[in-house]
Chain A
């Protein structure tokens, strides 16, 4: 048995390092594509202001990218250091997308990001454009693979338990890669990154416009940002809805907790716009409901009910009861691999083995659990309702706000009024932190909503943790908090400094004097 403090510290460390990493990832995803778009315009039109834009936003991209890389190193190894049993139990499947991410995505973005910064004078215009696109594609591919890995934690398809190796093993790589949860999560997540990149460019450009600095540069940047941002914001919400639909199919408990829906409502279920979930009393007070809405979103039908928490706990309880003989049979197979009867007994309920593991929180041998312990373990499958209810609602509210903001900005840009509407620019500037808040809340909903599972229905989080001393994890956690905080302050300081400095004009001046379209330029500057 692992101690609760070890579990809590390990979870806290993972949450901290992952959420910290995700402060930098969305901006990398969004800005990399925006850089590629800006540079494409430069190569097509030959107008130097577009190259200046690429280089200026590229400088900010670089500062952010360094932090993304720095915090990403931890993520690749942390499964092994802090979640050793998890790594043993599912590495056969989970390790594959991680390795492919390195082979296919990290190499691409990391190898070419050096050329992006150092290659301006050594590559032709077209070659450099290709390099920029490769960085953008590499960043986005890495999101694809890591979300395939994460989606498998939410919906573990294409795998089977092997009692001889005491772990899950891969059955179908296609089921893992084409996991429907992965597809919707990928587009939802990268779109959130594009929204972040777009709002970043819009807010900084707005700041320049409000101060009357770099007007031409800022107007163009803002126009690119609102167009790209509108498409991205629409995509986030549409694919977020797809994500929710997928979760309804595979993670019914997560949906029920997000909606704080204690009992199954008659179809089509209402959507709770406001409420005060009370986990201890297992009810929601002061509800304001919108009829039909949840049923339509979650099931896309008028007659499919959305199951409530009580009903899902009852079915979890049944699965625990079914899993107990599988656990007993597993013990027999482990002590005598030739026991054919035990193997058959294990196979008949192997799908519920993970549910029996939930009992390990209460006793060493789940097959001897009392009815009270079974009920207790069944209620453990309910994540923290109030936090999910609220984080989900704030995230969705922000998503809708982004659509409105970018739609209005797009309308202004189309009428060439974006530089004059100071109120809009001020709102955009104040909205700068919001995409990060939305993204972090989104991850909170996805990951906290999966609890108590590390792998949904397969491996509970409390069994996945490394048996290292809690004091070691406390030490590393304190180190990370301190170290990351210092780096974040330095990072923010540098970003602000380079935003204040603004884009440099001298290249534009030099190039308008000389004929444009030359392959290489004599001097460098940003």
Chain B
């Protein structure tokens, strides 16, 4: 393989970010749509309009999450093992909420009763809200550091319970994530619906993006001034066999800003993050619906990008045994596995993107009350 190990690790770090962003942009809007379902739609027909805006595509979107899981397993096995087991109950809560979505989408329209349908509406609401919150809280915890340590055989043990996950900063990150995906879902709904639903979605987009902007600003300040951050002092070997225990790490307030000082071009990422929700407000008011959705997507990408750019080279710092923290240099799989997976991604991902685009093209256009009422059997 012509690419050296250190470069491969960085490429896979970028791919990890790409996959998480693709998940947040693609599946993010249907999570947001789920959260907004009780807010923007009142009658059964309106709810069906909202559900059918994502009905044909949400299943493909969710694969970004599944692929994210698979790619972390293959490329960052130590991160896969330590994060999912460390956040055990929170992860299972998110999984249980995600399980509600396929059945909610599919089962709701299969029976006419009001109680039946409103049960599945709540299922879709929870299925949108809980994963958005949990994933945001998890991101917040990454920035705080997670209390875990490795023993000699690389067995991780954790020093916290489920409630320790909800530290104030982590809760802030969770709420920011909810606001961000609600805004993202709302801008999507504005482009896909008309009439009363679109009007309520417009209001929701403005409010949610305001919340996103404010929470993002607080989180940014906290990151800069809140004493958060870790730094590697010695022992990191970018080209070496992945071994977390080889390095030394210190806790250093403000260290999460160090990368921006080292590579000033990186400032672009935190600059774009607040610009996203800001433009959502502007374009929504100006009725430029597609531009509002595009701004939202860029804002989502940049917000997640901020987490990655601040943490680099950390993936999941440890707060209890600093050296055990996982970084890009010591949490990856072997060079051969990274190389093979890179080839697979380069060949297969463009094909995936091409047929996804085809499906969106086929399903283009607005979903209206008239459409769902005349397609009572086939639409959701």
Contact (Cβ within 8 A) B352 A95: no
Which chain A residues border B55 with CB–CB below 8 Å? 114, 118
Contact (Cβ within 8 A) A103 B103: no
Q: Does B60 contact A (CB under 8 A)?
A: yes
Q: List 20 A-B contacts (CB under 8 A).
A: A62-B106, A73-B95, A76-B69, A81-B88, A84-B84, A87-B80, A88-B82, A91-B80, A91-B81, A91-B333, A92-B77, A95-B73, A99-B67, A99-B344, A100-B348, A162-B241, A170-B333, A468-B88, A475-B89, A491-B107
Contact (Cβ within 8 A) A93 B337: yes
Q: Does B334 contact A (CB under 8 A)?
A: yes
Q: Does B217 contact A (CB under 8 A)?
A: no
Binding site for B on A (CB under 8 A): 62-63, 65-67, 69-74, 76-77, 79-82, 84-85, 87-88, 91-96, 98-104, 106-108, 110-115, 117-120, 122-123, 162, 164-167, 169-171, 173, 331, 334-335, 466-468, 472, 475-476, 479, 483, 487, 490-491, 494, 497-498, 504, 523-526
Contact (Cβ within 8 A) B99 A106: no
Known A-B contacts A63-B106, A84-B84; A71 and B99 likewise in contact (beta carbons under 8 Å): yes
Which chain B residues border A113 with CB–CB below 8 Å? 59
Minimum CB–CB distance from A73 to chain B (whole Å) comes to 5
Which of B63, B85, B100 is in CB contact (< 8 Å) with A106?
A: B63
Which chain B residues border A108 with CB–CB below 8 Å? 355
**B334-363, CB under 8 A of A: which get 1 and which 0?**
101100110011001100100110010011
Contact (Cβ within 8 A) A165 B242: yes
Contact (Cβ within 8 A) A95 B77: yes
Q: Does B226 contact A (CB under 8 A)?
A: no
Q: Can you list the 4 inter-chain pairs with the closest CB atoms, starting with the nearest?
A: A91-B77, A80-B84, A95-B74, A95-B73
CA distance A487 to B359 in the complex (A): 29
Which residue of chain B is the closest to A360 with respect to CB atoms?
A: B153
How big is chain B's contact interface, by range?
35 or more
Known A-B contacts A85-B81, A106-B67, A114-B59; A170 and B154 likewise in contact (beta carbons under 8 Å): no
Minimum CB–CB distance from A262 to chain B (whole Å) comes to 35
Minimum CB–CB distance from B331 to chain A (whole Å) comes to 10
Known A-B contacts A123-B362, A479-B92; A84 and B81 likewise in contact (beta carbons under 8 Å): yes
Contact (Cβ within 8 A) B152 A467: no
Contact (Cβ within 8 A) B102 A69: yes
Contact (Cβ within 8 A) B378 A107: no
Contact (Cβ within 8 A) B336 A169: yes
Which chain A residues border B110 with CB–CB below 8 Å? 63, 494, 497-498
Beyond contacts A468-B88, A525-B377: 20 other A-B pairs, Cβ-Cβ < 8 A, are A66-B105, A69-B59, A81-B84, A87-B77, A95-B70, A95-B74, A95-B337, A96-B341, A98-B69, A98-B73, A103-B352, A119-B363, A167-B77, A170-B334, A170-B340, A173-B340, A466-B85, A472-B88, A479-B96, A487-B99
Q: Does B7 contact A (CB under 8 A)?
A: no
Contact (Cβ within 8 A) A106 B66: yes
Which residue of chain A is the closest to B364 with respect to CB atoms?
A: A122
Which of B70, B158, B241, B362 is in CB contact (< 8 Å) with A76?
A: B70
CA distance A494 to B71 in the complex (A): 35
Contact (Cβ within 8 A) A77 B107: no
Which chain B residues border A523 with CB–CB below 8 Å? 374
CA distance A77 to B100 in the complex (A): 16
Q: Does B262 contact A (CB under 8 A)?
A: no
Known A-B contacts A87-B80, A95-B75, A118-B56; A102 and B102 likewise in contact (beta carbons under 8 Å): no
Q: Does B379 contact A (CB under 8 A)?
A: yes
Which chain B residues border A63 with CB–CB below 8 Å? 106-107, 110
Which of A117, A123, A166 is in CB contact (< 8 Å) with B154?
A: A166
Contact (Cβ within 8 A) A114 B106: no
Known A-B contacts A107-B352, A466-B85; A98 and B70 likewise in contact (beta carbons under 8 Å): yes
Which chain B residues border A85 with CB–CB below 8 Å? 81, 155
CA distance A73 to B127 in the complex (A): 13
Q: Does B284 contact A (CB under 8 A)?
A: no
Which chain A residues border B72 with CB–CB below 8 Å? 80, 95
CA distance A167 to B67 in the complex (A): 23
Minimum CB–CB distance from B360 to chain A (whole Å) comes to 10
CA distance A79 to B84 in the complex (A): 9
Known A-B contacts A84-B84, A115-B56; A103 and B345 likewise in contact (beta carbons under 8 Å): yes
Which chain B residues border A504 with CB–CB below 8 Å? 377
Q: Does B57 contact A (CB under 8 A)?
A: yes
Contact (Cβ within 8 A) B77 A107: no
Which chain B residues border A71 with CB–CB below 8 Å? 99
A-B interface pairs (CB < 8 A), number: 253
Q: Does B248 contact A (CB under 8 A)?
A: no
Contact (Cβ within 8 A) A170 B102: no
Q: Does B156 contact A (CB under 8 A)?
A: yes
CA distance A468 to B73 in the complex (A): 19
Known A-B contacts A98-B73, A114-B60; A490 and B107 likewise in contact (beta carbons under 8 Å): yes
Which chain B residues border A334 with CB–CB below 8 Å? 152-153
Contact (Cβ within 8 A) A70 B99: yes
Which residue of chain B is the closest to A498 with respect to CB atoms?
A: B110
Which of A73, A112, A162 is in CB contact (< 8 Å) with B98?
A: A73
Contact (Cβ within 8 A) A467 B158: yes
Which of B74, B88, B334, B352 is in CB contact (< 8 Å) with A169?
A: B334
Contact (Cβ within 8 A) B73 A115: no
Which chain A residues border B77 with CB–CB below 8 Å? 87-88, 91-92, 95, 167
CA distance A231 to B105 in the complex (A): 35
CA distance A524 to B372 in the complex (A): 11
Contact (Cβ within 8 A) B243 A164: yes
Q: Does B275 contact A (CB under 8 A)?
A: no
Q: Does B78 contact A (CB under 8 A)?
A: yes
Minimum CB–CB distance from B334 to chain A (whole Å) comes to 4
Minimum CB–CB distance from B76 to chain A (whole Å) comes to 8
Q: Does B320 contact A (CB under 8 A)?
A: no
Which chain B residues border A65 with CB–CB below 8 Å? 106
Which chain A residues border B105 with CB–CB below 8 Å? 66
Which of A70, A103, A122 is in CB contact (< 8 Å) with B363?
A: A122
Contact (Cβ within 8 A) B241 A111: no
Q: Does B157 contact A (CB under 8 A)?
A: yes
Which chain A residues border B91 with CB–CB below 8 Å? 77, 80-81
CA distance A180 to B379 in the complex (A): 44
Contact (Cβ within 8 A) A166 B153: yes
Contact (Cβ within 8 A) B66 A76: yes
Which chain B residues border A106 with CB–CB below 8 Å? 63, 66-67
Which chain A residues border B106 with CB–CB below 8 Å? 62-63, 65-66
Minimum CB–CB distance from A488 to chain B (whole Å) comes to 10
Contact (Cβ within 8 A) B82 A102: no
CA distance A108 to B349 in the complex (A): 11
Contact (Cβ within 8 A) B378 A525: yes
Which of A84, A96, A114, A524 is in CB contact (< 8 Å) with B85?
A: A84
Which residue of chain A is the closest to B379 with respect to CB atoms?
A: A118
Which chain A residues border B152 with CB–CB below 8 Å? 331, 334-335
Which chain A residues border B203 with CB–CB below 8 Å? none
Which residue of chain B is the closest to A103 with respect to CB atoms?
A: B348
Which chain A residues border B88 with CB–CB below 8 Å? 81, 466, 468, 472, 476
Known A-B contacts A63-B110, A95-B80, A122-B362; A117 and B85 likewise in contact (beta carbons under 8 Å): no
Contact (Cβ within 8 A) A102 B66: yes
Contact (Cβ within 8 A) A524 B340: no
Which of B81, B241, B340 is in CB contact (< 8 Å) with A165?
A: B241
Q: Does B43 contact A (CB under 8 A)?
A: no
Contact (Cβ within 8 A) A102 B67: yes
Known A-B contacts A118-B378, A472-B89; A111 and B73 likewise in contact (beta carbons under 8 Å): no
CA distance A101 to B66 in the complex (A): 10
CA distance A458 to B110 in the complex (A): 48
Which chain A residues border B67 with CB–CB below 8 Å? 99, 102-103, 106-107
Which residue of chain B is the closest to A80 with respect to CB atoms?
A: B84
Q: Which of A69, A164, A335 has the most CB of B within 10 A?
A: A69
Q: Does B83 contact A (CB under 8 A)?
A: yes
Which residue of chain B is the closest to A357 with respect to CB atoms?
A: B153
Which of A84, A117, A170 is in CB contact (< 8 Å) with B337?
A: A170
CA distance A81 to B107 in the complex (A): 28
